């Protein structure tokens, strides 16, 4: 009886030993999965045209099956994390203890959109393949199902262009002093401090010229800014050589300071004269002193033809001079006659 039990006992011991070995073999695999959880990188590319832009964005990893492992700190809606500026983060860990295929969705969280911001709305699908050895392999797919080489979101901030209708547009005011026979044509120029500066419609190579006939007003027009900065312009009259005119040599400076406010570029404009004093208009005064008979005469300051009024004035002057001469002659004659009378 005892001899019959011994082989049976040895078989039991062998079975128990085999079970122990199997458990021992399985234990390191579970530990391997726990000690080497899955992590993955998420990159953010952020471009901004304003130093005031907030470049911090939020992302969410969501399990597509309810029992999928999730990183610590996850909530019912998923696991959220933030990235600031041009940076990347390593997110996770995801620890798996059984074989299978696990799917997730990764998106950017976009709540109330801020003016001027452009958000990346792509959706990545993460597929995690876990084999019998609990080794995890990650495959990332784009929205069209193709494989993605990396997880990258591209965001940007560009303040909305300035509103031209809100820009002050000082008028050019032309005044002609004198009495020209006909109205002259005068030209005024707006010149950008840099050829790359924005300009109104009708400009060429950083300049725009307008004309005013006689005394009157004109305007250069407004434009829109797309970048922050300080912009300078000059306004002056072009000496076109109109006969008989003395031209105004004033030069005005326009200084536009452009800043972003709540996602919109806003322009603060100051116009100053040659004395660096703020003004509300570009005022020019030309003086007419008469012109030459020949319109092609290069000397616009030379006296012009004599008019009817000018002839009368010359006649009066000649008669006055003649009267003075006669008075002086008569006085001399009377003085000499008096002296002859006294000698006799």
Encode the chain in three state secondary structure: CHHHHHHHHHHHHHHHHHHHHHHHHHHHHHHHHHHCCEEEEEEEEEEECCCCCCCEEEEEEEECCCCCCCCCCCECCEEEEEEECCEEEEEEEECCCCCEEEEEEEEEECCCCCCCEECCCCCEEEEEEECCCCCEEEEEECCCCCECCCCEEEEEECCECCCHHHCCCCCEEEEEECCCCCCCEEEEEEEECCCCCCCCCCCECCEEEEEEECCEEECCCCCCCCCCEEEEEEEEEECCCCCCEECCCCEEEEEEEEEEECCEEEEEEEEECCCCCECCCEEEEEEECCCCCCCCCCCCCCCCCCCHHHHHHHHHHHHHHHHHHHHHHHHHHHHHHHHHHHHC
Query: Which residue segment(s) compose the domain that 69 sits in?
Result: 36-156
Residues 231 and 184 in one domain: yes
CATH number where 128 lies = 2.60.40.3050
Residues 141 and 189 in one domain: no
Instruction: For residue 50, name the pLDDT band (cuts at 50, 70, 90).
Output: confident
* Among candidate residues 259, 288, 317, the one where a domain is terminated: 288
- Regarding whether 251 and 142 lie in a shared domain, the answer is no
- The answer as to whether 273 is a domain residue is yes
- Is 184 within the bounds of a domain? yes
Mean pLDDT of the region 315-324: 56
Domain boundary among 99, 129, 156: 156
- Do 85 and 188 reside in the same domain of the chain? no
pTM above 0.75, yes or no: no
Q: Are both 70 and 119 inside the same structural domain?
A: yes
Q: 124, 156, 188 — which closes off a domain?
A: 156
Q: What would the mean pLDDT of 79-96 be, rounded to a whole number?
A: 95
Q: Is the pLDDT of residue 75 over 90?
A: yes
Average pLDDT over the chain reads 83
Q: Give residue 52's pLDDT.
A: 73
């Amino acid at each position: 009886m005892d001899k019959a039990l011994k082989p049976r006992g040895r078989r039991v011991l062998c079975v128990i030993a085999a079970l122990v070995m199997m458990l021992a073999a399985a234990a390191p695999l579970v530990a391997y999965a726990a000690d080497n959880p899955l992590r993955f990188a998420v990159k953010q590319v952020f471009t901004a045209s304003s130093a005031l832009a907030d470049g911090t964005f939020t992302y969410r990893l969501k399990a597509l099956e309810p029992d999928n492992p999730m990183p610590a700190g996850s909530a019912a809606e998923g696991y959220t994390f933030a990235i600031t500026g041009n940076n990347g983060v390593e997110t996770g860990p995801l620890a798996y203890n059984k074989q299978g295929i696990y799917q997730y969705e990764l998106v950017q969280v976009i709540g109330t959109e801020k003016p001027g911001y452009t958000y990346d709305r792509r959706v990545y699908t993460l597929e995690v393949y876990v084999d019998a050895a609990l080794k995890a392999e990650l495959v990332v797919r784009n929205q069209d199902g193709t494989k993605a080489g990396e997880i990258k979101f591209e965001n940007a901030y560009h303040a909305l262009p300035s509103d031209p209708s809100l820009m002050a547009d000082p008028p050019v005011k032309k005044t002609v002093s004198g009495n020209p026979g006909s109205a002259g044509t005068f030209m005024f120029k707006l010149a950008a401090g840099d050829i790359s500066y924005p300009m109104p419609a009708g400009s060429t190579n950083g300049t725009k010229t307008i004309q005013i006939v006689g005394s009157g007003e004109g305007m250069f027009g407004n434009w829109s800014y797309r970048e922050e900065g300080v912009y300078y312009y000059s306004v002056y009259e072009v000496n076109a050589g109109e006969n008989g005119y003395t031209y105004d040599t004033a030069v005005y400076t326009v200084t536009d300071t452009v800043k972003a406010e709540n996602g919109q570029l806003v322009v603060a404009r100051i116009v100053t004269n040659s004395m660096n004093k703020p003004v509300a208009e570009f005022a020019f005064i030309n003086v007419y002193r008469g012109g030459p008979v020949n319109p092609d005469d290069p000397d616009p300051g030379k006296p012009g033809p004599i008019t009817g009024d000018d002839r009368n004035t010359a006649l009066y002057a000649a008669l006055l001079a003649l009267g003075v001469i006669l008075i002086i002659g008569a006085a001399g004659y009377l003085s000499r006659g008096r002296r002859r009378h006294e000698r006799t």
